[in-house]
Structure 1
Amino acid sequence: MPAGSSAKRERQYEHIKESAEKRGVPERRAEEIAARTVNKERARAGEAHKPGKVSTRDPKSASRRGGERSHKGAQGPTRDQLYEEARRQHIEGRSSMTKEQLRNALGR
Structure 2
Amino acid sequence: MPRGDKDKYTDKQKRKAEHIEDSYQSQGVPKDQAEARAWATVNKQSGGGERKGGSGQTKSPAAKARSRASSARRAVATKQGLARPGQRLEDMTVAQLLERARQQAIAGRSRMRKAELIEALRKG
TM-score between the two structures when normalised by the length of structure 2: 0.36
Flag the structure with larger Rg: 2
In the superposition, the TM-score normalised over structure 1's length comes to 0.40
